[in-house]
Amino acid sequence: MNKTITLIYGDGIGKDIIDATIKIIERAGVKINWDRQEAGLSAYEKYGNPLPEETIKSIEKNKIALKGPLTTPVGTGFRSVNIALRQYFKLFANIRPVKSFDGIDSLYKDLDFVVVRENTEGLYTGIEFMVNDNIAQSVKIISRDASLKICNFAFELARQEKREKVTLTHKANIMKLSDGLFLRVGREVANEYKDIQFEDIIVDAMAMRMVMNPRNFSVIVAPNLYGDILSDLGAGLIGGLGIAPSGNIGDDFAIFEPVHGSAPDIAGKNIANPISAILSGAMMLKHIDEVEAAFKIEKALKNILKNKENCTVDIGGKLSTTEFADAVIANI
Active-site annotation, residues = 124, 171, 204, 228
Nearer to ligand NAI, 223 or 240 (CB): 240
Nearer to ligand NAI, 202 or 241 (CB): 241
Distance of alpha carbon 113 from alpha carbon 234, whole angstroms: 9
CB of 243 to ligand NAI, least distance (A): 9
CB of 70 to ligand NAI, least distance (A): 4
CB of 238 to ligand NAI, least distance (A): 15
Distance of alpha carbon 239 from alpha carbon 108, whole angstroms: 9
Q: What is the DSSP string of 187-252?
A: HHHHHT-TTSEEEEEEHHHHHHHHHH-GGG-SEEEE-HHHHHHHHHHHHHHTT-GGG-EEEEE-SS
CB of 224 to ligand NAI, least distance (A): 14
Residues that bind ligand NAI (CB under 6 A): 13, 17, 69-72, 82, 241-242, 257, 260-266, 272-273, 276, 314
CB of 176 to ligand NAI, least distance (A): 32
Stated length of the chain = 332
Nearer to ligand NAI, 187 or 269 (CB): 269
User: Environment class of residue 1 by beta-carbon count within 10 Å: exposed (0-12), middle (13-18) or buried (19+)?
Assistant: exposed
Of 227, 93, 223, which Cα lies nearest the Cα of 149? 93
Nearer to ligand NAI, 228 or 298 (CB): 228
Which residue number has the CB closest to ligand NAI? 261
Cβ within 8 Å of residue 67, ≥6 positions away: 7, 8, 10, 18, 39, 85, 255, 256, 257
Nearer to ligand NAI, 70 or 91 (CB): 70
